[in-house]
Chain A
């Protein structure tokens, strides 16, 4: 019996149609748009001005606080402008626009393909290097990695878990990394374990990726025995942080708590690879693997893309948006964001562009709740989505809070399973935002 999380979950078709497409290097565009808000926390402060020459890997945005991250130029060239530019939802954010000239890298970056196995930096130096290189969590939330590797006083990490679940349908970027860069991912884990001072690591992988499990096992059985490969049942949201910790260790992150409360730090496969490159190759995070997929595309891709490449450039390269595509999603179909601005650019954590047809993504007319309880069974947090939806629509904030709306991880299982097509998560999300605002406004005891 494969391990899995203890409650709820759904079984969407995994649709990993791009799984066998090897990672291709995406050609350099002529112009790059680099956002200063690529991470959770304070936007980075631009360090360059119009007309400045920059090199690939040069620091162009400085971390603006403890929870913030550095930003490096993904290309060499001339700064065309520094100012607001619309993100994927059309909201303006500070961007640095660079006209690409050649591809001249900072000399300090090791560009060879050699795997560097010896970890010479001390824990403190590792964390500093990760912060310097602007590494953030690539599993979705883009939380600065150095912060996660610095547990608050009084909390001690016991395990590191590498998240290789990739439970979102369609996404295959982590899978490709695990298959093509197996040892680098494990080295990244080893580096983070050294930084955390832990001796036991796990890598959780859903069992729909046997090649990744086997590749990882081959190495963990010989040279990386401190890391255990944990095959997980294919079930969404297996890669949710709290669900993964539960599946791998049986420990439950408390309500309103953090993973470190259970002695666990979780990092995504992509992050682990970025940590390896930062620490062993001195390479800042300015490119990443991204899946470009959808049944309506004739060819499926996994690209190594420099951060700041625009979506329309990527879609042009794959032959344009097919007429049948009705929705373009950055991320997976369960939690990704619909793209309304095709001129927006990728950020560090952009893991995919997914093109769905109208049939695949149509929202049907909302019916009456038949009180089937399927949303309650599907909720991996043990909440009652039907009730939260009703309370949110009625504006009953006290009851929303009493029913723990703040524990919602917005995985979408409730809405996925609802036979009446009620847009449960739309309303729960707004209700949760309102309740969190009220909770934050209260004076601390």
Chain B
């Protein structure tokens, strides 16, 4: 008697898998990783390797020895967290910063909640913010990108564009005066390579290439990144039009402070973002609004990380109350 498989329909599968999706995210991050390595060399490679290794190893150990479950590190989600964390660190940060950040990301933000699919907050962002409040000096010492392929030019320590503006405004300067004092702050440089900031922010163009790849592969939909960026443009545009001497313009706001990195790769994290299209737009608008408010009025110059984490916390509510459009109206009878 031959054996046949008997199970309910559907009998075929589209062959999408968590692992393939994570691999696509890693591929989409490749341009940014390459840019980071190009500008910061060994330091960037070291941060990437340490973050990824610690994230994967910690997830494996927690699953195998604490939760006593079959480890699922082959789904590559811990690799994604590691890469994102490394790209969110100052490129010249010491290696142990990556270790502590990874422990906070995987240990606290992910595994404590039950692992993949159960965490409320984006693990890599929790890692970054944990470091930001614990080691504020190291975490805000940014190196202005200098290519390792141009020996003889030392890396220049400095502040991020947003921090420069914040400091300048605090000293009573206008935005125009600050820009004039810092000729490096051109849009062209921000777009292609020279925005000071974390390793992953060096090139906006590299991030946009990753965005296009994720869209083309249908890993993410445009709802979240587009609603964040449009909201930042509109809200900062209103302030800027009202008083250009005190408020930076929309293009500056979009190209700086990890807004693209956050919008494209952090806010779109499946686990911590809403399920429905409407929920995604509300979430994106919230992140955009909070980002601008924190940047203009908060004590930190950068607001993306905090904005995403705050909106992460209301995702369960959005999923509960914002339902997708149903097919067909409610029947009138009975």
Binds B, one of A269-277, A279-287, A325-333: A325-333
**In-complex Cβ contact of A338 among B11, B16, B116 (8 A):** B11
Tell yes or no: A303 within 8 A of B by CB.
Answer: no
**Is there an interface contact between B116 and A370, defined as CB atoms closer than 8 Å?**
yes
Please name the residue on chain A nearest to B325 by beta carbon. Answer: A382
**Is there an interface contact between B21 and A372, defined as CB atoms closer than 8 Å?**
yes
Flag A340-370 by CB within 8 Å of B: 1 or 0 each. 1000000000000000101011011001111
A372 CA / B276 CA spacing, docked (Å)? 10
Binds B, one of A91-99, A213-221, A417-425: A417-425
**Is there an interface contact between B326 and A404, defined as CB atoms closer than 8 Å?**
yes
Q: Which residues of A contact B115 (CB under 8 A)?
A: 368
Tell yes or no: A437 within 8 A of B by CB.
Answer: no
Tell yes or no: B275 within 8 A of A by CB.
Answer: yes
**Is there an interface contact between B327 and A380, defined as CB atoms closer than 8 Å?**
yes
Q: Which residues of B contact A246 (CB under 8 A)?
A: 327
**Looking at B20, B276, B327, which has the most chain A CB atoms within 10 Å of its CB?**
B327
B binding-site residues for A, Cβ under 8 Å: 2, 4-14, 16-18, 20-21, 72, 75, 77, 115-118, 221, 270-271, 273-277, 319, 323-332, 334
Q: Which residues of B contact A444 (CB under 8 A)?
A: 334
On whether A252 and B8 interact (CB within 8 A), knowing A384-B323, A386-B275, A444-B334, the answer reads no
Q: Which residues of B contact A386 (CB under 8 A)?
A: 275
A binding-site residues for B, Cβ under 8 Å: 6-7, 10, 12, 169, 242, 246, 252-257, 261, 321, 325-329, 331, 333-340, 356, 358, 360-361, 363-364, 367-374, 376-377, 379-384, 386-387, 403-404, 407, 410, 412, 415-421, 425-426, 429, 444-445
On whether A373 and B270 interact (CB within 8 A), knowing A169-B12, A368-B116, the answer reads yes
**In-complex Cβ contact of A412 among B10, B17, B18, B330 (8 A):** B10
**Is there an interface contact between A254 and B328, defined as CB atoms closer than 8 Å?**
yes
**Is there an interface contact between B17 and A421, defined as CB atoms closer than 8 Å?**
yes
Shortest Cβ gap from B121 to chain A (Å)? 13
Q: Which residues of B contact A6 (CB under 8 A)?
A: 327
**Is there an interface contact between A327 and B9, defined as CB atoms closer than 8 Å?**
no
Please name the residue on chain B nearest to A323 by beta carbon. Answer: B2
Q: Which residues of A contact B332 (CB under 8 A)?
A: 254
Q: Which residues of A contact B117 (CB under 8 A)?
A: 368-371, 420
A335 CA / B332 CA spacing, docked (Å)? 30
**Is there an interface contact between A374 and B16, defined as CB atoms closer than 8 Å?**
yes
**Is there an interface contact between B5 and A327, defined as CB atoms closer than 8 Å?**
yes
**Is there an interface contact between A361 and B271, defined as CB atoms closer than 8 Å?**
no
Q: Which residues of A contact B327 (CB under 8 A)?
A: 6-7, 242, 246, 252, 255, 380-382, 407
Please name the residue on chain B nearest to A365 by beta carbon. Answer: B70
A75 CA / B13 CA spacing, docked (Å)? 40
- Known: A367-B18, A376-B324, A415-B13; 10 extra A-B contacts, CB below 8 A, are A327-B7, A333-B9, A334-B11, A338-B5, A370-B18, A370-B117, A376-B275, A412-B9, A417-B14, A429-B8
**Is there an interface contact between B10 and A333, defined as CB atoms closer than 8 Å?**
yes
Q: Which residues of A contact B7 (CB under 8 A)?
A: 327, 338, 363
Shortest Cβ gap from A239 to chain B (Å)? 15
Shortest Cβ gap from B19 to chain A (Å)? 8
Q: Which residues of A contact B118 (CB under 8 A)?
A: 368
A356 CA / B319 CA spacing, docked (Å)? 38
**Is there an interface contact between B275 and A384, defined as CB atoms closer than 8 Å?**
yes
**In-complex Cβ contact of B4 among A261, A339, A382, A418 (8 A):** A339
A367 CA / B70 CA spacing, docked (Å)? 11
Please name the residue on chain A nearest to B270 by beta carbon. Answer: A372
**In-complex Cβ contact of B324 among A252, A337, A384, A426 (8 A):** A384
Nearest 9 A/B pairs, CB to CB: A412-B10, A368-B117, A382-B326, A373-B275, A252-B328, A256-B331, A372-B270, A254-B331, A338-B6
A426 CA / B11 CA spacing, docked (Å)? 12
**Is there an interface contact between B325 and A7, defined as CB atoms closer than 8 Å?**
yes
**Is there an interface contact between B18 and A420, defined as CB atoms closer than 8 Å?**
yes
**Is there an interface contact between A335 and B331, defined as CB atoms closer than 8 Å?**
no
Shortest Cβ gap from B12 to chain A (Å)? 4
**In-complex Cβ contact of A367 among B14, B72, B276, B329 (8 A):** B72
**Is there an interface contact between B2 and A321, defined as CB atoms closer than 8 Å?**
yes
Q: Which residues of A contact B8 (CB under 8 A)?
A: 338, 425-426, 429
A255 CA / B331 CA spacing, docked (Å)? 5
Q: Which residues of B contact A254 (CB under 8 A)?
A: 328-332
**Is there an interface contact between A333 and B12, defined as CB atoms closer than 8 Å?**
yes
Q: Which residues of B contact A420 (CB under 8 A)?
A: 17-18, 117
A261 CA / B329 CA spacing, docked (Å)? 11
Shortest Cβ gap from B15 to chain A (Å)? 9
A383 CA / B17 CA spacing, docked (Å)? 22
On whether A416 and B14 interact (CB within 8 A), knowing A338-B6, A368-B115, the answer reads yes
**Is there an interface contact between A419 and B326, defined as CB atoms closer than 8 Å?**
no
Q: Which residues of A contact B9 (CB under 8 A)?
A: 329, 331, 333-338, 410, 412, 425
**Looking at A7, A338, A429, which has the most chain B CB atoms within 10 Å of its CB?**
A338
Please name the residue on chain B nearest to A411 by beta carbon. Answer: B10
**Is there an interface contact between B270 and A255, defined as CB atoms closer than 8 Å?**
no
Shortest Cβ gap from B187 to chain A (Å)? 34
**Is there an interface contact between B276 and A376, defined as CB atoms closer than 8 Å?**
yes
**Is there an interface contact between B329 and A255, defined as CB atoms closer than 8 Å?**
yes
